[in-house]
Amino acid sequence: MVNTNEELNNQEFQKLEAEYNELMRQRLLKLEELRAKGQDPFAITKYDRTHTSKQVKENYDELEGKDVKVAGRLMTKRIHGKAGFADIHDRYGKLQLYVRIDDLGEEKLKAFKTLDIGDIIGVEGTVFKTKTGEISVHVKDFILLTKSLRPLPEKWHGLKDPDLRYRQRYVDLIMNQDVRDTFFKRTQIIRAIRKFLDDRDFIEVETPVLSPIASGAAARPFITHSNALDIDLYLRIATELYLKRLIVGGFEKVYEMGKNFRNEGIDIRHNPEFNMIEIYEAYADYNDMMKLTEELIAYVCKEVLGTTKVVYQGTEIDFTPPWNRLTMKEAVKKYANVDFDEIKSDEEAREIAKKLNVVDELKKDLKDCTKGDILVAVFEAYAEKHLIQPTFVLDYPVEVSPLTKRKPDDPMFTERFEAYVYGREIANAYSELNDPIDQRERFLQQLRERELGDDEAYMMDEDFINALEIGMPPTGGLGIGVDRLVMFLTNSYSIRDVILFPTMKPTK
């Protein structure tokens, strides 16, 4: 009888699982033996490391022939007879070790040979270069600091499944230098963003994550409950309305970088928990925000990568200012061959929606949609995907921009832009609406949109209206998706590749 592929796969899996379990059993036995000898590695609270692998390599001329104490995870071991080599990895990379019975003694070398890949050790020895020129440490003594009880997955196919890589990011980081590099670069990107804004006298602030109203964006929120107050609260979907309250309060130039939460779909561009930066500047408008956006991102590129040109998924992206600019109507005319200036009524626009097959993209019934609603749907279906190089899309319809000032010469449109790269939105900005009467009407319209079935429409925020009634100066505001920016600057395909612990459905 011939086994099916599924049966063979099951047999192979069972074999590997049995081997894995046996390795774990052997490692546990080694730990028990160490404890019986009074050498429990988990009882050690500290190791006085004098140098990292980076410091040893960068300061070789000074350290040659001198003793150092280094530490890291044992990743390879090549010992034959009375001598051999091993590699430890720390935060900065690999460092080679050379062990020899003449230096360690027979018992200590035997103990070194019993170490497992994945163990964390501290090593004392002399810095030297091998005949091949590799900077190494000639080991005089070592100590086991942490016993690894689970084998690393390289041999056991543990990292071929991307889902497992995200679930066990700690193993992913151990095994893949490029993954570590991505997250080190993420830190550099965030640091550069802050430096750019701090150098321009912006104030970094913190606003509530829990709020009685979910507002500042069109999104579905996560809901929780406060036992102390006996009220439902929302995890924030945006920081906008709190930051604009601070503009009212006289801060004038503020920003906040942190987590937002949206109870929506998960894909290569979306994670329910994500990092955003929002920036507000009094006495500025959306033109100033365009300049700020392109200058900030170009600065970050230069600081982190040394260039404003990056390659993303095989395509060169040039972040050098000035970026392309076109209105939403111009983009639709160019890519959908429809001139919305020639469309005079909502009824005509609805016919266009049918003709261009965008009815399913609308957030409410076609009969309830306006010309502006349909313009946005056509743009998203026909134009977005063509915006590969950094592009500002300007002047959004008032229907989809409830927090934005109208254009003085065309009040059906607003002073709003979104920035697109590789067909993806990475920034959204306005000349902020500061008329409390108009803002109340916009909120009321959003409530009507909710009644028509748009569950992402804004909620009424009476306290924010109150703040506007106190008086907010003309203000420019900007939001940038930090995770998406990191994706472009690290050539990462999925947002999960730039979030250390992305949201995952628990395994059974």
Between CA 86 and CA 114 the distance in angstroms is 13
Name residue 267's amino acid: D
Beta pairing class for 253-261 and 203-204 = parallel
Q: What is the largest CA-CA distance in the chain?
A: 92
Contacts 24+ apart (CB under 8 A), 208-214: 208/236, 208/242, 209/235, 209/236, 209/258, 209/259, 210/234, 210/235, 210/236, 211/236, 211/242, 213/459, 213/460, 213/461, 214/459
Instruction: Answer whether 478's CB lies under 8 Å from 278's CB.
Output: yes
CA dist list (Å): 428 to 240, 281, 494: 12, 15, 21
Contacts of 438 (CB under 8 A, 6+ apart): 406
DSSP three-state, residue 121: strand
DSSP three-state, residue 314: coil
Q: Is 425 annotated to bind ligand?
A: yes
Instruction: Answer whether 179's CB lies under 8 Å from 496's CB.
Output: no
Instruction: Give, for 178, the enclosing helix (H) or strand (E).
Output: helix 177-199
Contacts of 99 (CB under 8 A, 6+ apart): 79, 83, 84, 85, 86, 109, 112, 139
**Which stretches within 319-414 are classed as H helix?**
328-336, 346-355, 371-378
φ/ψ (deg, to 5) at 372: -65, -40
Annotated binding site for Mg(2+): 418, 425
As annotated, the binding site includes: 418, 425
